[in-house]
Amino acid sequence: MSIPIVVPAELVARLRRATRVVALTGAGISAESGVPTFRDALTGLWAKFDPRELATPSAFARNPKLVWNWYAARRAALANVEPNPGHVALARMDALVPDFLLATQNVDGLHARAGSRRLVELHGNIARVKCSREHRVVDTWDAPADDDPPRCPHCGAFLRPDVVWFEEMLPEDALARAEDASRRADGTLVVGTSAEVYPAAALPRYARAAGARVVEVNPEDTPLSGIADDVLRAPAGLALPALVDAVWPGCASASAPPTPHAADTPRR
Ligand code: BJW
């Protein structure tokens, strides 16, 4: 039985008029693709680890093999997942809203695979690997004879995933684009994030201060629920297609590819 999603008429009217929309997504949007969120207990081999404690430079310094293997297992699992209707609905919005930006905290690459083009990845991308010393992205490396992480072909330091761990700076350009879009937005969507990790969690507050309508899509309450004008308490894979269909009737289809407009619009 599917949950009926009620999209308030005032929200429909506001989003239909909106020309500058920014969406912030977190792990929850990929949950329906089968990617575990950070708050979910991990399964199998990884059940005894707290993901938030593995995603730190000190965890990697202490036990590079453990952290490398955790990311390798997640990378392998991602090979078997597909974008879901929530990702597709945001790719549709990219094609429909003149000035749109999707800022994701996710490293899984599913938004790009769904067709989102005006996209910034605030916490990097798990598919890329970089040198842990010089931070140069590395495309190929030799599998080590032992079980340690592979080594940088240039300097011999361990390689690591090109993601942002706690206490590390976010990519400057990605963060600047997300902050700029938020400060100019007239509508903002906050989807599938616990909104506890900064600086990403501050973005909807900038949009709110700029006068944007704030829409949260999350089955659970978050620290941002209190500033949201509308809260859709439903899984993103149901709520986002319903939202897009209510605002732009007939445009939420999962099968229709994004229009050329999105891909051709220069990045701002
Ligand atoms: C669904 C659903 C469905 C389920 N549909 N929804 C200001 C104040 C306090 C602290 C700080 C601050 N500024 C900076 C900090 C420190 C720190 C921080 O924020 N700590 C907090 C924990 C307090 N921030 C940082 O360190 C950041 N760097 C930084 O600020 O640099 C400056 C600095 C330098 C030196 C010292 C100090 C600061 C970096 C943050 C990097 C975060 N990295 C990770 C790992 C990425 C790589 C990887 O994937 O492994 O990013 S941690 C993890 O959290 C990951 C996520 O992107 C991020 C956010 O999690 P997210 O996406 O919200 O997931 P969950 O699991 O928490 O929530 C899922 C949600 O989905 C839930 O709400 C569900 O209900 C919902 N959901 N199913 C819709 N179907």
Tell whether ligand 1 has an atom less than 6 A from the beta carbon of residue 107: yes
Check residue 267 and give its pLDDT: 34
Ligand 1 lined by 251 (C-beta under 6 Å): no
Please give the order of strands across the beta sheet that includes 213-217.
119-121, 99-104, 20-25, 187-191, 213-217, 230-232
Spell out a b/e string for 101-121, using b for 16 or more CB atoms within 10 Å of the CB, else e.
bbbbbbbbbbbbbbbbbbbbb
What pLDDT, on the 0 to 100 scale, is given for residue 264? 34
Long-range contacts of 202-211 (CB under 8 A, 24+ apart): 203/22, 203/24, 203/103, 203/178, 203/179, 204/24, 206/179, 206/182, 207/22, 207/182, 207/183, 209/183, 210/182, 210/183, 210/184, 210/185, 210/186, 211/186
Q: CA 217 to CA 229: how far, in whole Å?
A: 11
Of the residues 54, 71, 172, 198, which should be mutated to test ligand 1's pocket, given the most ligand atoms within 8 Å of the CB? 198
Residue 198 C-alpha from the chain's centroid: 14
Q: What does the pLDDT read at residue 9?
A: 97
The closest residue, in CA terms, to atom 63 on ligand 1 is: 193
pTM score of the predicted model: 0.93
Please tell me whether residue 216 adopts helix, strand or coil conformation.
strand
Residue 258 is predicted with a pLDDT of 45
- Strands 137-138 and 124-131, by their bridges, are antiparallel
List per-block mean pLDDT (blocks of 10 residues) for the chain, which spans 268 residues.
85 97 98 91 70 91 94 94 98 97 98 98 98 96 85 95 97 98 98 97 98 98 98 98 95 52 34
The residue whose CA is least distant from atom 2 of ligand 1 is 28
